[in-house]
A and B are shown apart, each in its own frame.
Chain A
Amino acid sequence: KNEVEQSPQNLTAQEGEFITINCSYSVGISALHWLQQHPGGGIVSLFMLSSGKKKHGRLIATINIQEKHSSLHITASHPRDSAVYICAVFSGTYKYIFGTGTRLKVLA
């Protein structure tokens, strides 16, 4: 079993839908990082969280340290949101533990 699990693995949505991507982890962490990778593209940092909630535009990320769970929400989804979303946890050393990624496709 992976130390960092994401769900769903694949997600197809219609433009405008509210989207939730989940990340559960089994190790102690000091922070969690949400990353975005467009097809054939680089890896972009979205949020780094250690508690609570962060919002940037249509993206909202939450984390519950006690439950070892984080969610990434996209409101009013758009085809340009189509990408792989990666959850990475940081346990205070230098290493990330990466989730398996969630492949999102938003249809126009």
Chain B
Amino acid sequence: DAGVIQSPRHEVTEMGQEVTLRCKPISGHNSLFWYRQTMMRGLELLIYFNNNVPIDDSGMPEDRFSAKMPNASFSTLKIQPSEPRDSAVYFCASRQQGAGAQYFGPGTRLLVL
């Protein structure tokens, strides 16, 4: 079985540019999570979708960040405009509803210059 798939794996961009991160959850999983990981703050939950509906977006830092899940097999996290402080590793994770374990993707390493 394929795990959670994220793309791109690495992204280098300049301040002010739009960045779009993509995630394909594990087939059959109906919960999806976006996390950001930095040295200073560790893993932070940005947004949680259940059955494609955003349930908790309280972790989204500001209006520059947006996330969508148009269907059960695809989600995007967009940053517009990007800033150097957005540099981090962004992880997507999925799980089956009712099951505790979340399964993480390989992450997208974002560097904003």
A residues sitting closer than 8 Å to B (CB atoms) are: 30-31, 33, 35, 40-45, 48, 50, 86, 90, 94-96, 98, 100-101
Q: Distance (Å) between the CB of A59 and the closest chain B CB?
A: 16
Check A33/B101 contact, CB under 8 A, given A43-B91, A94-B31, A94-B55: yes
Check A33/B102 contact, CB under 8 A, given A43-B91, A94-B56: yes
At the interface with chain A, which of B15-23, B43-51, B76-84?
B43-51
Interface size on B, residues (CB 8 A): 20
Contacting residues, chain B, for A86 (C-beta < 8 A): 43
In the assembled complex, the Cα of A68 lies from the Cα of B54 at a distance in Å of 32
Contacting residues, chain B, for A44 (C-beta < 8 A): 104
Interface string of B88-109 (1 = CB under 8 A from A): 0001010000001111111101
Most buried by A among B42, B102, B103: B102
Q: Are A43 and B101 in contact (CB under 8 A)?
A: no
Q: Are A48 and B100 in contact (CB under 8 A)?
A: yes
B residues sitting closer than 8 Å to A (CB atoms) are: 31, 33, 42-43, 45, 48, 50, 55-56, 91, 93, 100-107, 109
Q: Are B48 and A94 in contact (CB under 8 A)?
A: yes
- Looking across the interface, which residue of chain A has its beta carbon closest to that of B4? A42
A-B contact pairs, 5 of them (CB 8 A): A33-B100, A42-B104, A42-B106, A43-B91, A100-B42
Q: Are A98 and B50 in contact (CB under 8 A)?
A: no
Contacting residues, chain A, for B45 (C-beta < 8 A): 95-96
Contacting residues, chain B, for A45 (C-beta < 8 A): 101-104
Set A41, A48, A98: member contacting B101, Cβ < 8 A: A48
Q: Distance (Å) between the CB of B54 and the closest chain A CB?
A: 12
Set A94, A95, A98: member contacting B42, Cβ < 8 A: A98
- Looking across the interface, which residue of chain A has its beta carbon closest to that of B56? A94
Contacting residues, chain B, for A100 (C-beta < 8 A): 42
